[in-house]
């Protein structure tokens, strides 16, 4: 198998099905590109797409998609509950197979530049593609949102990486980045006390003094009458799944509460679970090249 990159573009339309289909259609039936999933939220008025492909084919498909986005979406009329800075709001590239992060950063640069030039859009590079540390965090880049960017963009430190230093009134701005895949991982506790899940979440997550690449919150599972620590592992290579799991277990002990199970939501990179198996089995000198399927697909 050749080089595979994942892209999860988010665009600012989650209500008009006809428009959504016209936009998503640009990712269908293209050689070297595969649409895996898309879901629209009408409260957020936003659609999240998951698409994979060979680098060059994927880049071209995303540019095609962008041209429909800028044709059909008008930010002057957009409202929705989710933060957004433009019609094509965020475009992260994620390495999946036989591709390095450096290559994804290069792709983010190329796509960002092309979006800027072709559609006259201010483009910011974020996460691993960011040129400065204050642009790494997407929330930081997007702060102020579409409406606030008319002022924000005038500041020297918020000069776009590509394109004009002026908001495109119809299309807004765009954030294009490169990052490792997210793992959505929840740990279920043998208690119905939400305050226990909340306290553990606060301890485990980065902002609370916990693990560097963990975001967490307490959630009540009404139907099962238990609570869970719901986590986003934003860099499973640096903060491993098993480490987050063991830390939740360790903190739950303080309350005499045991772990009844866990959930992995959506897609997870094979390496995140292989690495966990390696830890528990204490495997010495393992290489991902020993995975039969890697040999098949490489």
Q: Which is nearer to a copy of itself, 16 or 97 (CB)?
A: 97
CA-to-CA separations, 212 to 62, 232, 234, 243, 253, in angstroms, rounded: 31, 11, 9, 11, 22
When binding is defined by CB under 8 A, the residue of 15, 30, 34, 206 that contacts a copy of itself is: 34
Does 156 engage in binding with a copy of itself (CB under 8 A)?
no
Tell which residue, 223, 219, 214, has the closest CA to residue 188.
Answer: 219
Does 260 engage in binding with a copy of itself (CB under 8 A)?
yes
Assigned token pair, 246: 């063991």
Contact assessment for residue 170 and residue 241, using Cβ atoms and an 8 Å cutoff = no
Q: Which is nearer to a copy of itself, 96 or 211 (CB)?
A: 96
Contact assessment for residue 84 and residue 55, using Cβ atoms and an 8 Å cutoff = no
82 is catalytic: yes
Give the 3-state secondary structure of residue 153.
coil
Does 283 engage in binding with a copy of itself (CB under 8 A)?
yes
Instruction: Kindly report the number of other CB atoms within 10 A of residue 223's CB atom.
Output: 6
Least distance to a copy of itself, CB of residue 58, Å: 12
Contacts of 237 (CB under 8 A, 6+ apart): 180, 271
Q: Of the residues 44, 78, 82, 206, which is catalytic? A: 82
When binding is defined by CB under 8 A, the residue of 63, 76, 96, 226 that contacts a copy of itself is: 96
Does 6 engage in binding with a copy of itself (CB under 8 A)?
yes
Does 169 engage in binding with a copy of itself (CB under 8 A)?
no
Which of these ranges, 39-47, 166-174, 214-222, 273-281, lies near a copy of itself under the rule CB under 8 A?
273-281
Assigned token pair, 3: 């080089």
Does 67 engage in binding with a copy of itself (CB under 8 A)?
no
CA-only gyration radius of the chain, Å: 20
For a copy of itself, the binding residues (CB under 8 A) are 1, 4, 6, 34, 36, 52, 96-97, 181, 188, 241-242, 245, 259-264, 266-270, 273-274, 276-278, 280-286, 290-297
List active site positions. Answer: 82
């Amino acid at each position: 198998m050749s080089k595979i990159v994942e892209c999860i573009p988010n665009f600012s339309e989650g209500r008009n099905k006809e428009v959504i289909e016209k936009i998503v259609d640009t990712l269908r039936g293209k050689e070297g590109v595969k649409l895996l999933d898309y879901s629209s939220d009408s409260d957020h008025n936003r659609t999240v797409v998951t698409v994979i492909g060979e680098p060059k084919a994927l880049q071209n498909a995303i540019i095609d998609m962008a041209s429909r986005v800028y044709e059909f979406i008008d930010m002057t009329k957009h409202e929705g509950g989710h933060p957004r800075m433009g019609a094509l709001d965020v475009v992260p590239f994620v390495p999946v197979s036989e591709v390095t992060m450096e290559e994804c950063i290069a792709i983010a640069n190329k796509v960002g530049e092309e979006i800027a030039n072709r559609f006259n859009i201010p483009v910011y590079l974020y996460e691993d593609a960011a040129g400065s540390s204050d642009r790494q965090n997407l929330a930081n880049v997007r702060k102020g949102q579409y409406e606030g960017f008319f002022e924000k963009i005038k500041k020297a430190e918020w000069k776009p990486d590509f394109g004009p230093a002026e908001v495109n009134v119809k299309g807004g701005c765009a954030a294009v980045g490169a990052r490792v895949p997210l793992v959505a991982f929840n740990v279920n506790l043998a208690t119905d006390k939400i305050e226990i899940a909340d306290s553990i979440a606060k301890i485990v997550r980065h902002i609370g003094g916990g693990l560097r690449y963990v975001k967490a919150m307490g959630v009540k599972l009404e139907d099962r009458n238990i609570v869970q620590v719901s986590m986003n592992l934003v860099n499973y290579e640096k903060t491993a799944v098993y480490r987050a799991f063991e830390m939740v277990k360790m903190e739950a002990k303080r309350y005499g509460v045991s772990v009844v199970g866990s959930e992995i939501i959506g897609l997870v990179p094979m390496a995140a679970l292989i690495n966990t198996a390696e830890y528990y089995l204490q495997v010495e000198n393992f290489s991902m090249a020993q995975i039969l399927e890697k040999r098949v697909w490489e």
